[in-house]
Amino acid sequence: MIRTGAFLRRLADDTAGNALMLTAAALVPLTILVGSAVDLSVAYMAQAKLQNACDSAVLAGRQSMQGTDLKKGNRDEAQKFFDFNFTSASANARNVRFDLEQNPDDRQELVATASADVPTSIMAIFGFETLPISVNCDAKRDQAHNDIVLVLDVTGSMADVPSGGVMRRSFP
Question: Taking a C-beta distance cutoff of 8 angstroms, is the pair 61, 80 a contact?
Answer: no
pTM attached to this predicted model: 0.70
Residue 30 located in a structural domain: yes
Phi, then psi, of 161 in degrees rounded to 5: -85, 135
Radius of gyration of the CA atoms of the chain, in A: 32
Count, in order, helices (H) and strands (E) of the chain.
4, 3
Residue 130 located in a structural domain: yes
Residue 8 located in a structural domain: no
Residue 53 located in a structural domain: yes
- Residue 42's pLDDT is 93
d(C-alpha 102, C-alpha 125), whole Å: 42
Residue 147 located in a structural domain: no
Residue 155 located in a structural domain: no
Number of domains in the chain: 1
- Residue 139's pLDDT is 93
**Residue 87: CA atoms inside 13 Å, Cβ hemisphere, count?**
3
Going across the sheet that includes 109-119, the strands are 94-102, 109-119, 130-140
Residue 125 located in a structural domain: yes
- Residue 87's pLDDT is 87
Residue 92 located in a structural domain: yes
Domain assignment of residue 101, given as a range:
20-142
Nearest CA to 118 out of 41, 38, 40, 43 is that of 43
Which ranges of the chain have pLDDT less than 50?
none
- Residue 25's pLDDT is 83
